[in-house]
Chain A
């Protein structure tokens, strides 16, 4: 069964901490995405990547960075976590030939105290 795996389902961090959210896909997809999900706001795109070592800003990149050193792995980094970054983070991937269909991970719920 093809998968997008997010390593942490629940995290609790303190303000100012550096936070790493990891995502791995086993479908050999070229494209990977990080979305943030908040009630009433739906999903908002933070960053995406079309290839290894490439990254593009989404709609809300402020306060975040990403890393894609290998095709299967896409990491989201919060350099200095703040309380307004408390949210559900969803990783997704897609194939360039895949008609824009996303496969999502189960999500990482981050609470920043």
Chain B
């Protein structure tokens, strides 16, 4: 079945450092790919998405490119802030239908220190 694997955390960074969170997936067909973020005490919210190969999703300085050849969707940010401390989830949706039935990775906690 479909699955998502993302790097384990916690990832601890200093402010203004470069952030990369690796995400790879296994799926049949052409899934859509997502990054969701969960700030402390809150539910998940969509950070960015990509629906086809070579698409780049971007939001709030974060970027991720849908790489079909490597089945990856790595999240990057060039200069993190303390406010980026959160848990980040990579997810995919099935090619056909699904309507929000997503498969999530285990989540990666990011801690940014001043």
Contact of A102 (CB < 8 Å), options: B41, B51, B100, B106: B100
Asked if A99 contacts B49 (CB within 8 A), the reply is yes
User: A42-B107, A43-B89 are contacts. A94–B99 as well, Cβ < 8 Å?
Assistant: yes
In the assembled complex, the Cα of A45 lies from the Cα of B102 at a distance in Å of 8
Closest to B100 in A: A94
Q: What is the size, in residues, of chain B's interface with A at 8 Å between Cβ atoms?
A: 23
Asked if B43 contacts A99 (CB within 8 A), the reply is no
A104 interface residue (CB < 8 Å to B): yes
Size category, A interface = 20 to 34
Asked if A101 contacts B101 (CB within 8 A), the reply is no
Chain B residues within 8 Å of A, Cβ to Cβ: 4, 32, 34, 36, 41-46, 49, 51, 89, 93, 98-102, 104-107
Chain A residues within 8 Å of B, Cβ to Cβ: 4, 30-31, 33, 35, 40-45, 48, 50, 58, 90, 92-94, 96, 98-102, 104-107
